[in-house]
């Protein structure tokens, strides 16, 4: 099955074409466009590029959709999904409108090709109410004010690959089947998994970051909440903030709500603290030269990571593996060392030599460490391709009377 993964941003379009054959996935082609003003035009251009390269067969198109409110999971991207994306665009304005437009465009261009949406919130369908509920009035909750969580594709890949690396193929297989089982089976599925006792804390650290607690392949909670603006300090987004700060800033700084939203989503986070950049590489370079604000930005970031790691460590009663993934987590030994500092009392001992080697996929734990420290490279597009194929194959099996 050839699966085209479409990654749409407000001004960008990137694609990857995978050949999926059972558990095997082979990358056939990739490309992308920046400074996009017409997604329909670049989608047409991408299709022409693929055809010119001999890739004329597309069996499915997968989308890494962000937020659809109550619409979540891995499901066919029909008009109901398009409507859900637009209805929640106020919480994900940079992502939802482009994805809705992209799904519509592919429906028009390739009407016979199935389209599949894998929501970033999908991995959190099994989080208990105590971990997704805010302490707000009931009518707020009924209006959708709750923790949804994001980076689900990345954290699910960590749950699956991490289980494989730790010799728990039984859990890896159950993670593969999570979305096929569907939320209606969540109670049975979760209770079946919880007996096996694998506790993983996944740190997705990149342009945006989150920490997720995973018990036996199922997410028990995550640092991100209602929107991608929450949790850890993001590159230029604020992360967690006391709700009283917004009216206070509006009064004291004479800001409009529009100005507050702009500053919190575009001028805050690591950029706001450091005053240097929203890129950790630039901030680290400035900190190494003695820039105090740059160093503070790194310290706040590391403090927040450790805060959430500690929260899930306590919630799960321990940690069998601490995982670093995404660009910052995979490529910065100094950050991993800072996050893991002084955790020997909890059973985590980092091997400095292994950590400094910066190998692609590795276990950084010392021989006497009870907790393993894994680096697992992120590949969210591969996750979307695999889940798209799994969904369509499962549906085909049900139609043919299998399973």
Name the binding residues for Mg(2+): 7, 380
Annotated binding site for ATP: 14, 279-281, 327-331
Judge whether 322 and 315 are in contact, CB under 8 Å. no
Cα separations in angstroms, 3 against 20, 77, 189, 259, 390: 7, 14, 28, 41, 11
Q: Minimal CA–CA distance to 202: which of 310, 325, 358, 359?
A: 325
Determine how β-strand 321-325 pairs with β-strand 362-363: unpaired
- DSSP-assigned beta bridge partners for residue 204: 210, 325
C-alpha to C-alpha distances, 283 to 57, 286, 296, nearest whole angstrom: 45, 5, 10
Please give the full DSSP string across 296-343, using - where no structure is assigned.
Answer: HHHHHHHHHHHHHHHHHHHHHTS-SEEEEEHHHHHH-HHHHHHHTTT-
Instruction: Output the 3-class SS for 10-68.
Output: CCEEEEEEEEEECCEEEEEEEEEECCCCCHHHHHHHHHHHHHHCCCCCCCEEEECCCCC
Measuring CA to CA, how many Å separate 167 from each of 163, 164, 198?
6, 5, 11
Tokens of 344: 């020997």
Q: How far apart are CA 311 and CA 256, in angstroms?
A: 35
> What single-letter DSSP state applies at residue 91?
T
Q: Which residues are annotated as a binding site?
A: 7, 14, 279-281, 327-331, 380
CA dist 395 and 390 (Å) reads 9
56 touches 50 (CB < 8 A): yes
């Amino acid at each position: 099955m050839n699966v085209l993964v479409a990654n749409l941003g407000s001004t960008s379009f990137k694609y990857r074409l995978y050949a999926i054959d059972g558990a095997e996935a082979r990358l056939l082609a990739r490309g992308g466009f920046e400074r996009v003003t017409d997604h329909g035009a670049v989608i047409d251009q991408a299709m022409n590029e693929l055809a010119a390269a001999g890739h004329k067969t597309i069996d499915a198109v997968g989308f890494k959709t962000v937020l659809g409110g109550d619409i979540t999971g891995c499901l066919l991207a029909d008009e109901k999904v398009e409507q859900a994306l637009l209805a929640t665009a106020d919480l994900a304005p940079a992502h939802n409108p482009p994805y809705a437009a992209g799904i519509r465009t592919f429906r028009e261009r390739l009407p016979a090709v199935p389209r599949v949406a894998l929501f970033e919130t999908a991995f959190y369908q099994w989080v208990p109410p105590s971990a997704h509920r805010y302490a707000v009035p009931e009518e707020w909750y009924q209006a959708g004010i709750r923790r949804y969580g994001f980076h689900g594709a990345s954290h699910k890949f960590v749950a699956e690959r991490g289980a494989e690396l730790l010799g728990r193929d039984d859990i890896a297989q159950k993670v593969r089947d999570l979305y096929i089982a569907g939320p209606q089976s969540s109670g049975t599925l979760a209770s079946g998994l919880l007996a096996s006792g694998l506790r993983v804390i996944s740190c997705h650290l990149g342009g945006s970051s989150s920490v997720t607690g995973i018990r036996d392949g199922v997410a028990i909670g995550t640092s991100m909440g209602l929107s991608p603006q929450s949790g850890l300090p993001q590159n230029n987004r604020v992360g967690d903030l006391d709700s009283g700060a917004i009216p206070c800033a509006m009064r004291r700084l004479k800001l409009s709500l529009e100005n507050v939203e702009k500053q919190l989503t575009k001028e805050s986070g690591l950029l706001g603290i450091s005053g240097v950049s929203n890129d950790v590489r630039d901030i680290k370079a400035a900190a190494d030269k003695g820039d105090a604000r740059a160093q503070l930005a790194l310290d706040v970031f590391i403090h927040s990571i450790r805060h959430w790691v500690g929260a899930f460590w306590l919630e799960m009663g321990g940690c069998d593996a601490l995982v670093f993934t995404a660009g910052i987590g995979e490529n910065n030994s100094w950050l991993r060392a800072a996050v893991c500092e002084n955790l020997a009392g909890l059973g985590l001992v980092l091997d400095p030599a292994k950590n400094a080697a910066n190998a692609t996929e590795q276990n950084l734990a010392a021989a006497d460490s009870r907790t393993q420290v894994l680096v697992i490279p992120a590949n969210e597009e591969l996750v979307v391709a695999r889940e798209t194929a799994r969904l369509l194959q499962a549906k085909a099996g049900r139609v043919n009377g299998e399973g």
